[in-house]
Amino acid sequence: MKLYKKLLFISIALLLLVVPFENADAVTEEAWSEAVTVYGAALEQNSDLQSKTKSLLGTDDSDKTTYVHAADLTKYLSLQSNDSVLKSSIRIKKLSAGSGLSLNINQSAGKITKITEDTYKNALLTAGVTDAEVTIAAAEDVTGESALAGVYKAFEAQGETIDTAQTQAAQNELNSISNINAENAGKEGFSQEQLNKAIAEAKAEIAKQGANLNTTEIKNIVVQKIESNGLNNIISDNQINIIVNFINNAQNSGVFSGENKDKFINGAKDYINEIKNSDGFKQATDKAKDMGKSIQNSLEKEGVWDKFMNFIQSIIDAIMGLFK
């Protein structure tokens, strides 16, 4: 009789568990039916510049359009600016969960002189933008530092909110990585691809470990990822501390925990795979071998089925404990 009760409770628990998995799509964030184009405020009164930028972004007449102003930079990024200098623009369409993040910087007319594609992606993941098609462009040369604000303004235009603590953490990360890239430019054995991969792996590992780590634990992970990507003796102690600080800020803002955790880890895996397949990273790998170093893929792969079965087992163990 006791065994019968145990089996009955287990059966009921398993039946209850089926509901959320079968209805997962119902609570998944839906894709946008339209793209959103966000022009820099300087284009608001300059129809010629706006027309050129519209063509660069591939904006459709059906797109929802708005503008990013200096006040938006303050709100989302804690940056001070002037409307007259905001010329970089964004076109974004949010996709269904699991689609991944696709980013294109169109520099056929104006160059983005400071921020790289990988750095944008790292910052977008920190801000929680994991499933979207994003195009960045400007009709004139710009640094590109304000482009992220346009992404966040697009979500606002669609009636969605993004945590400003996370957007500010993303901007802090973007600026920090850009500075570290500039400081190490031309150094033997350094590439932006290696650094971006190391940082993405460190953040994913912190998320996997529960996102409640102290600075010493974060630093240990960062150092390990720096070494496994062939950057030891290249990234300085001060630069490591800068990385630890912005990752800690992101952790404190909730980027890696709660409902963000799995989404962030999956987004990071896709992003890391993109880096590994890039020409720049392949060249960095060859260069590391020449220098007697190796670049490793230190981010573990986790199967969805394994995680599901572990979850089921934890429920069964808890129920069985009631009858001991």
As given in the structure block, the two tokens for residue 206 are: 């912190």
Burial (CB count <10 Å: 0-12, 13-18, 19+), residue 144: buried
* Spatial CB neighbours of 264, under 8 Å, sequence gap ≥ 6: 125, 128, 130, 203, 204, 207, 255, 256
**CA–CA gap between residue 31 and residue 250 (Å, rounded):** 26
Q: What confidence score (pLDDT) does residue 316 get?
A: 56
Q: What confidence score (pLDDT) does residue 44 get?
A: 95
Q: What confidence score (pLDDT) does residue 300 get?
A: 47
Give, for all 324 residues of the chain, the pLDDT tens digit.
544 444 444 444 333 333 333 333 322 367 999 999 999 999 999 999 999 999 999 999 999 999 999 999 999 888 899 999 999 999 999 999 888 899 999 999 999 987 888 778 877 887 888 899 999 999 999 988 778 888 889 988 999 888 888 888 888 888 899 899 999 999 999 999 999 999 999 999 999 999 999 999 999 999 999 999 999 999 999 999 999 999 999 999 888 888 778 878 888 888 888 888 889 898 989 888 888 888 876 554 444 434 444 455 555 555 555 555
pTM over 0.85: no
**CA–CA gap between residue 238 and residue 153 (Å, rounded):** 34
> What is the dihedral angle through the alpha carbons of 47, 49, 52, 54, rounded to the nearest 10 degrees?
-70
Q: What confidence score (pLDDT) does residue 7 get?
A: 43
Instruction: Report the run of H or E that residue 104 belongs to, with start and end.
Output: strand 101-106
